[in-house]
């Protein structure tokens, strides 16, 4: 870009500094991506890449300290991000010189190398001989790694000036983030809240007997059951974890929507959430016990016990949001007036709800299937029916999308599908997903699975991941923001798939399809083509595990 300055009859062209403004933004974004990759590499290598059993060589406390070193780094990063969110003015313009000097990246790389040196000598049987060298390498390496990135973002003089001005608030926050993992170990005994555990146990005994079950219960050791199925309502099962999750969720919700909510009235959401969490925990344990007493021990312990907690928390979180948004007493008058004055979009025509709700229903049905069925995939037709009904309700929105058959989108889908098929994957050699179904029931199951895999899933996943999530992550329409949003979205997409590497790269190609023409239906078509090829090969070769 150029600026024109007029001097009499002469026009002088001066190069503007607009390109320079993109440098700090790109450098900051690149530093974040680099740090994420480095921490991921360190975590994966030390967890899965070496043959070293820490507890077999070092003490339990030493192993815990080693494990939480990386978690402390995450805590410090989270604390700094929290400071930036709460004190946005403090960081405005701070990184305007980011990326001007590249030598700090050399320090960062040296730090990474030093942090990885213990990989060379850590092995089973070394005992404590490698302990001190390992901690030295980790401490020095992580310090250099972090300092290199900080100096890449801003010179040392600016950091010192920043700390002198904001250190009184920032330093305690960083220390808290660093020591949080170790404090969690120290306060773990507080989880043994005998009073709450006792109240939970007594409530479970009362409720299970109310439903007519004849059980044996010992309040001293908190064991309840009958015949060959007994459960121990230990203090850790008292619901304190759910209470903590609900408390954190309410705090985040109140902070994010403080402009819409009426304080201090909304503080009542805390006791409402905590009491509800405790009551639903009693119901959860009672249902678990009833499932086991009815002869379904494996389902009770392996399925319901593993997922009911998340089901409960999801229900409470949705309930809290529903209460806060539907009860006028909890909302500010200014917000209510703004809502009245704005044009209301019908629920099933709301683009945001259409992008979110079908995916949420899909995930909730998965949780219920895993909780209430020993072979969750058998109930896939029921899940597909619920999801199809949900999408059908949003047909007023879906029909407005620019549906088309783009050759490039079809080609991208074909490439993804073929790559997914030819990449070898181990057969788990377990019961097939359709269990013992045969005949017409198997045909119906296959039809439902095909419709869900090739039509329903591509629509709801692309609307959520590529259309909604990436749109939220992409704050600016620049290449750096576009790539960053695609990478983060792909990582979250991959986390939901067993073959996460293939899913990650597939998601990036779906993002490319969507962004290439600015049309989410291109990504849906590509996804549908890929899933259709995979499903066809899986059925024809009887290799359902490749899906």
User: What are the E-state strand segments in 301-387?
Assistant: none
DSSP string of 160-196? HHHHHHHHHHHHHHHHHHHHHHHHHHHTGGGG--HHH
Highest mean pLDDT among 69-78, 221-230, 301-310: 221-230
User: Angle, nearest 10°, between helix axes 380-393 and 351-372?
Assistant: 160
Residue 217 to residue 42: CA distance in whole angstroms: 48
Q: In this prediction, what percent of the chain has a pLDDT beyond 90?
A: 18
Q: Which two three-digit tokens encode residue 373?
A: 């069925």
pLDDT digits (tens, 9 = 90+) for 467-506: 988 888 887 778 778 888 888 888 888 877 878 888 989 9
Name the residue among 467, 450, 318, 315 with its Cα closest to residue 388.
450
pTM over the 0.95 mark? no
Q: Is residue 317 scored above 50 in pLDDT?
A: yes
DSSP string of 96-112? TTTTS--HHHHHHHHHH
- Extract long-range pairs of 90-93: CB within 8 Å, 24+ residues apart: 90/162, 90/165, 90/166
- At 10, is the secondary structure helix, strand, or coil? strand
Name the residue among 340, 339, 216 with its Cα closest to residue 289.
216
Distance of CA 69 to the CA centre of its chain: 22
pLDDT digits (tens, 9 = 90+) for 9-32: 444 444 344 444 455 667 877 888
Query: Quick one: pLDDT at residue 452?
Result: 93
- Largest CA-CA distance found in the chain, in angstroms, rounded: 102
295 pLDDT tier (thresholds 50, 70, 90): confident
Q: Which one-letter DSSP state was computed for residue 1?
A: -
Question: Three-state SS string across 399-436, please?
Answer: CCCCCCCCHHHHHHHHHHHHHHHHCCCCCCCCCCCCCC
Give the start-to-end residue ranges of the domains of the chain: 24-186, 194-344, 402-546
Q: Which two three-digit tokens encode residue 36?
A: 């994420």
Q: Which two three-digit tokens encode residue 484?
A: 């960053």
Name the residue among 450, 466, 458 with its Cα closest to residue 516.
466
Name the residue among 470, 466, 451, 469 with its Cα closest to residue 531.
451
Query: Quick one: pLDDT at residue 491?
Result: 85
Q: Is residue 170 scored above 70 in pLDDT?
A: yes
- Sort strands 10-15 and 223-226 into parallel, antiparallel or unpaired: unpaired
Which residues have a Cβ under 8 Å from the Cβ of 374 and sit 6 or more positions away? 296, 298, 299, 302, 303
- Worst-scoring range by mean pLDDT, 109-123, 316-330, 518-532? 316-330
The residue-averaged pLDDT of 282-289 equals 85
Which residues have a Cβ under 8 Å from the Cβ of 474 and sit 6 or more positions away? 481, 482, 484, 485
Q: How far is CA 34 from CA 28, 29, 76, 102, 385, in A?
A: 10, 9, 17, 14, 43
Q: Is residue 300 scored above 70 in pLDDT?
A: no
Name the residue among 416, 509, 514, 420 with its Cα closest to residue 464.
514
Which residues have a Cβ under 8 Å from the Cβ of 480 and sit 6 or more positions away? 22, 25, 26, 29, 30
Q: Provide φ and ψ at 231, rounded to 5°.
A: -130, 150
Name the residue among 210, 199, 208 with its Cα closest to residue 233.
199
Query: Quick one: pLDDT at residue 307?
Result: 59
Contact 359, 464 (CB under 8 A): yes
């Amino acid at each position: 870009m150029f600026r024109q300055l007029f001097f009499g009859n002469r026009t002088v062209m001066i190069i503007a500094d607009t390109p320079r403004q993109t440098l700090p933004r790109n450098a900051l974004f690149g530093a974040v991506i680099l740090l994420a990759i480095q921490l991921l590499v360190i975590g994966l290598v030390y967890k899965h890449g070496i043959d070293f059993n820490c507890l077999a060589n070092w003490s339990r406390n030493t192993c815990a300290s080693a494990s939480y070193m990386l978690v402390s780094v995450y805590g410090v990063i989270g604390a700094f991000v929290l400071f930036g969110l709460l004190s946005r003015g403090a960081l405005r313009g701070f990184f305007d010189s980011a990326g001007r000097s590249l030598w700090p990246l050399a320090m960062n790389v040296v730090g990474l190398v030093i942090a990885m040196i213990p990989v060379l000598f850590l092995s089973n049987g070394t005992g404590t001989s490698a302990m001190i060298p390992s901690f030295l390498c980790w401490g020095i390496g992580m310090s250099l790694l972090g300092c290199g990135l900080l100096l890449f973002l801003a010179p040392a003089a600016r950091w010192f000036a920043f700390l002198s001005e904001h250190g009184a608030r920032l330093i305690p926050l960083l220390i808290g983030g660093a020591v949080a993992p170790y404090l969690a170990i120290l306060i773990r005994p507080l989880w043994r809240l005998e009073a709450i555990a006792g109240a939970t146990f007594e409530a479970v005994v009362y409720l299970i007997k109310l439903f007519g079950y004849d059980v044996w219960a010992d309040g001293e050791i908190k064991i309840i059951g009958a015949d060959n199925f007994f459960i121990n309502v230990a203090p850790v099962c008292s619901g304190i974890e759910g209470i903590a999750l609900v408390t954190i969720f309410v705090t985040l919700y109140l902070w994010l929507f403080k402009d819409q909510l009426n304080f201090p009235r909304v503080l009542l959401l805390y006791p409402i959430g905590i009491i509800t969490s405790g009551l639903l925990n009693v119901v959860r344990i009672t249902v678990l016990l009833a499932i086991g007493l009815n002869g379904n021990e494996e389902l009770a312990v392996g399925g319901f016990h593993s997922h009911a907690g998340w089901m409960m928390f999801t229900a409470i979180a949705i309930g809290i949001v529903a209460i806060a948004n539907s009860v006028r007493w909890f909302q500010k008058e200014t917000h209510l007036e703004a809502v009245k004055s704005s044009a209301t979009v019908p629920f099933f025509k709301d683009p945001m709800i259409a992008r979110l709700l079908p995916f949420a229903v899909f995930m909730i049905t998965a949780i219920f299937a895993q909780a209430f069925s020993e072979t969750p995939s058998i109930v896939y037709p029921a899940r597909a029916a619920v999801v199809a009904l949900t999408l059908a309700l949003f047909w007023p929105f879906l029909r407005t999308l620019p549906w088309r058959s783009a050759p490039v989108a079809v080609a991208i889908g074909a490439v993804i599908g073929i790559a997914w098929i030819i990449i070898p994957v181990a057969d788990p050699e377990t019961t097939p997903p359709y269990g013992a179904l045969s005949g017409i029931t198997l045909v119906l199951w296959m039809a439902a699975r095909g419709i869900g895999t090739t039509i329903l899933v591509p629509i709801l996943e692309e609307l959520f991941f590529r259309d909604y999530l990436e749109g939220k992550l992409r704050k600016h329409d620049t290449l750096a923001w576009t790539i960053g949003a695609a990478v983060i979205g792909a990582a979250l997409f991959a986390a939901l798939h067993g073959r996460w590497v293939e899913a990650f790269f597939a998601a990036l190609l779906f993002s490319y399809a969507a962004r290439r023409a600015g049309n989410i239906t291109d990504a849906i078509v590509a996804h549908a083509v890929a899933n259709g090829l995979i499903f066809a090969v899986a059925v024809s070769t009887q290799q359902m595990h490749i899906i």
